[in-house]
Amino acid sequence: MQPDTASDASRRLRSIWISDVHLGTAGCRAEHLLDFLREHESEYLYLVGDIVDGWQLRKSWYWKQSHNDVVQKLLRKARKGCQVVYIPGNHDEAARQYCGLDFGGVAIRHEAEHFTADGKRLLVLHGDEFDGVIQYAKWLAYLGDNLYTLILQLNRGFNWVRHRLGLPYWSLSQYLKHKVKNAVNFISQFETILAGEARRRGFDGVVCGHIHKPEVRMIDGILYGNSGDWVESLSALVEHADGRLEVLHWTALGQAAPAAEPAIPVSTEESTCAS
Once rounded to an integer, what is the mean pLDDT over residues 199-205? 97
The CA dihedral of 80, 83, 89, 92, to the nearest 10 degrees, is 30
pLDDT for 134 equals 46
SS3 content of the chain, % helix, strand, coil (to 5): 35, 25, 40
- The confidence score (pLDDT) of residue 135 equals 46
CA nearest neighbour of 84 among 102, 107, 111, 101: 107
pLDDT at site 66: 97
47 closest CA partner among 75, 22, 19, 72: 19
Which whole-number Å values give the CA distances from 29 to 60, 97, 123, 152, 218, in the listed order? 18, 27, 27, 12, 29
38-86 pLDDT tens trace: 999 999 999 999 999 998 898 889 999 999 999 999 999 999 999 999 9
Lowest mean pLDDT among 170-174, 204-208, 269-273: 269-273
Local confidence band at 188 (pLDDT 50, 70, 90 cut-offs): confident
| pLDDT computed for residue 172 by the predictor | 60
Domain boundaries, the chain: 12-249
pTM: 0.75
pLDDT single digits (tens) 122-160 = 999 999 988 744 444 443 445 455 556 666 666 666 666
Distance in Å from the first CA to the final CA of the chain: 38
> Considering the chain, what percentage of its residues have pLDDT values greater than 70?
68
pLDDT in tens, 16-27: 999 999 999 998
pLDDT, one tens digit per residue, over 221-271 is: 999 999 999 998 899 999 999 999 999 998 633 444 444 444 454 443 334
d(CA 227, CA 229): 7
Say what the pLDDT of residue 11 is.
85
Q: Are 124 and 207 in contact (CB under 8 A)?
A: yes
Write down the pLDDT at residue 146. 58
216: helix, strand or coil? strand
| pLDDT at residue 171, rounded to an integer | 65
Counting every residue, how long is the chain? 275
Please give the pLDDT value at position 144.
54
Of 115 and 262, the one with more pLDDT: 115
More confident call, 149 vs 5 = 149
Q: How is domain 12-249 classified at the CATH fold level? A: Purple Acid Phosphatase; chain A, domain 2 (3.60.21)
Q: How far is CA 214 from CA 62, 89, 127, 128, 192, in A?
A: 26, 16, 13, 16, 15
